[in-house]
Amino acid sequence: MNGFKWSPLPRHMLWTLLLLPMTVWSQTLPTATQVAAQIQLGWNLGNTLEAQCGETAWGNPAVTQQFINSVKAAGFNAIRIPAAWDCHANQSTMTLDATWMARVKQVVDYAHGQGMVVILNIHWDGGWLEEHPLYSYQTAVNQKQNAYWTQIATTFRDYNERLLFAGTNEVHADYGTPTAEHIAVQQSYNQTFVNAVRATGGNNASRTLVVQTYNTNAWHGLNYFSMPTDTAANRLIVEIHHYDPYDFTLNQSGSCLYWGAPYPSQSACTWAQEAYHDDLFAQVKAKWVSQNIPVIIGEYGVATRPNLSLPARQYYLEYVNRAAASNGIKTFYWDNGVQPSQTNGFAIFDRNSGAVVDQGVLDAVKRGAGIGTPVNYALTVTKAGAGSGTVTSTPSGINCGATCSASYSTGTSVTLTATAASGSTFSGWSGACSGTSACTVSMTVARAVTATFSSTATTFPLAVTKAGTGSGTVTASPSGINCGSTCTANYASGTSVTLTAAAASGSAFAGWSGACTGTSTCTLSMTAARNVTATFNTSGTGGTCSNPISFTNNTGNFNTTGAVCYRTSQTINGWGCSNFDGRTLTVGGQARTCGQLPLTRSADGYYYFSVTGGTYSWASLYAW
């Protein structure tokens, strides 16, 4: 105690302290950025306190502490409470009903009392505020806006930073582009809200408040919105809602029943795919979040309807949450209490028991927000086509090759690269990717990709040579050779090529040599370069001679002083001679030199060889 002696204050000083304004005792609450940082995942108590004009008017039961406990236990740590006030007010004095105020306070306490962040708003409320951003209504609406928020803020003045007020909901004249009048009047409602709350003092002097863009539309916010002036610095949050694309999320007769990259063939959605969300939320971040103005998506969701793809619905909800989280935007799922088995259903919970009735949606929004144990999804690669190659992944896991499937944690971005082997080319992706560039997939669901490799078209030349004393043409099937003029062509490896010889008038086709033999068509498999010779000889009846000497194969050696005639009935494919001294050999009635065969068979079925008289030192004539 260090010798300090306590003495009571004089009575007049005690009274002075007691009569000081309450603002003396108020706290300076954390900034909007600090408050928003406490929000992990938000949920809407929809179609309940905003029901006209009683909590159960739209079919949901009265809220209980047990039910709110179930919402928190499921993973939501923030709750948005849409509320109606106008039908609970005296329209002459604008005084809110005390019983209704007490009930709203009780529901707020169900959540706030267990550590949740709570947003309390003025919702549709019959449209008195929401549907009239018009000069003709501006004064009257602002009077009521000021009166209601003065009473609401006073009731909750002593609550800590985890209670936020949201001044309006979806204020709009219509769903088109706003006029200058619409923007000016709508933003005056935001300003009146801020002024009214601040004027109540206490913790409300520094409480974080939520202000809305026109129709809570992100694009209208980016294009037209201005922040209200505020006596407290850094204590405002911007609210948008997100139901893009409408034909998938809310249109009960819309043809868009699938959404996103996993469902390209089924989707009839013509806009607002993944890239749209990435771009929109990045612009929201740049305009507000990066300037220390937090942003909440106060509502989002996909209403159920016949034939809607539930896996696609879950994929959408996960993607919206992930894209929002990556840009620092907080989300509040819209839950109207209608069961998912019904049309226009959003419910995650049974409003009576608190049981989870749509685990798929709950898991999807939590995965997207990064809450809970990461989920792994399989990525499978299949190779197709006549060629060969490998597919590898970044991050590692797939080397296909041998390892063609791997699991990745939810949200992982995996890039697949295809490398063709020698003699092959990569033709492209199918399945979860298309095109021929690297394939990048986000592992928010199991994915399957096919990589097609084609065999490179190796070609080999086929050359035709014509020989003999006659003439003719050689043609090819498939086309390429018409020899004639074109006697060489290239064919893809493995191609079967058939050559056909046609003798010209006055000539006869004598046969093939080289890669083919015989006199029928020549068929080749182009697995290498090929050369073929086609021999055409002059046709005729052939000559004869008297007293011919018949022979088979080699005639042997001979000498003669006179003309000698030989004949053979063998089929002659070629012939040879040796050591002739240059004298003429007459074959088939025509003068020949060695090698000018095959011959033309004479009418009697023989080939005739006539040698002029003379002495040969050594000579032979043979056939085969």
Paired sense of beta strands 89-90 and 295-300, if any:
unpaired
55, 170, 239, 274: the catalytic one is 170
Q: Is 130 a catalytic residue?
A: no
- The identity of residue 222, as a single letter, is L
Q: Report residue 384: phi and psi, to 5°.
A: -140, 170
Among 354, 243, 257, 382, CA closest to 312: 257
Cα separations (Å) of 432 from 407, 449, 524?
Answer: 15, 5, 43
Residues 6+ apart with CB under 8 A from 28: 206
- The identity of residue 276, as a single letter, is Y
Distance CA 337, CA 271 (A): 29
Distance CA 392, CA 298 (A): 42
- Residues 585/592, Cβ–Cβ less than 8 Å: yes
Q: Is 131 a catalytic residue?
A: no
55, 239, 274, 299: the catalytic one is 299
Distance CA 298, CA 216 (A): 9
Distance CA 290, CA 284 (A): 9
Coil vs helix vs strand at 48: coil
Among 53, 206, 242, 83, CA closest to 152: 83
- Residues 519/512, Cβ–Cβ less than 8 Å: yes
For the chain, the distance separating the N- and C-terminal CA atoms, rounded to the nearest angstrom, is 137
Cα separations (Å) of 327 from 33, 290, 320, 322, 516?
Answer: 14, 9, 11, 9, 74
Distance CA 404, CA 382 (A): 7
- Residues 69/247, Cβ–Cβ less than 8 Å: no
- Number of other CB atoms surrounding residue 165 within 10 Å: 24
- Residues 444/411, Cβ–Cβ less than 8 Å: yes
* Residues involved in catalysis: 170, 299
